[in-house]
Amino acid sequence: MVKIGFICEGKTEKNIIESDSFQEWLRLNSFDCSLPVIDAKGNGNLLPHKIEALRQELLDRGVHKIIILTDLDVDSCITSTRQRITERADQLIIVAVKQIEAWFLSDTQTLQNLFSDPAFVFNLPEEEMSPFATLQQLFLAKTNRGVGSKSILVSRMLNYGFSIEQAAQHPNCPSARYFLTKLQTLASAN
């Protein structure tokens, strides 16, 4: 078992990583995840001089590898996001394209269940500039119920079965697939 710890940009990422389904995926892939996941409370706190205390907390818990999960947001490319955070030998930086909510748009099975629409597919989830706003509009149109906040959205998605594995199966969600692949590679290297 590889002991890992997560630092996430915000509450949405934290809730996804701490979800029962993802914790089970980690166990099945030979990971021991140190809980609770650390919420950096915004990508501005993922700068080298601000992240050190968060990293030290995980190292003090005995983790072997630190996984940082953040959004691309307004950065021009994934490389610039990684450089902003600063790569280190004991950590892995995963960048969700645009925003993590694009992974929700990629989980076709969960959205079909939520919307009671077996034909629903969102074709280009990682091209959405604001996937949360898109999801708000979809929920209102498909269920006549809004999703007022990101915390309500993540709770509803997790309650209806959202999983990163399902998002990674979407042909146009390479960042979710990359995330799982990098973790599997990490597990097989140990």
The pLDDT value recorded for residue 71 is 85
The pLDDT value recorded for residue 64 is 94
Domain of 22? 2-99+170-189
The pLDDT value recorded for residue 117 is 96
Residues 79 and 19 in one domain: yes
The pLDDT value recorded for residue 74 is 65
The pLDDT value recorded for residue 75 is 64
DSSP the chain: -EEEEEEESSHHHHHHHHSHHHHHHHHHTTEEEEEEEEE-SSGGGGSHHHHHHHHHHHHHTT-SEEEEEEE-TT-S-HHHHHHHH---TTEEEEEESS-THHHHHH-HHHHHHHHT-TT---S-GGG-S-HHHHHHHHHHHHHS----SHHHHHHHHHHTT--HHHHHTSTT-HHHHHHHHHHHHHHHH-
Segment 135-158, tens digit of pLDDT: 999 999 999 988 989 999 999 999
CATH code of the domain containing 179 = 3.40.50
The pLDDT value recorded for residue 28 is 95
Q: Which residues of the chain have pLDDT under 70?
A: 73-76
| Domains: count for the chain | 2
Segment 154-175, tens digit of pLDDT: 999 999 999 999 999 999 999 9
Residues 93 and 6 in one domain: yes
Residues 89 and 177 in one domain: yes
Residues 34 and 107 in one domain: no
Residues 136 and 53 in one domain: no
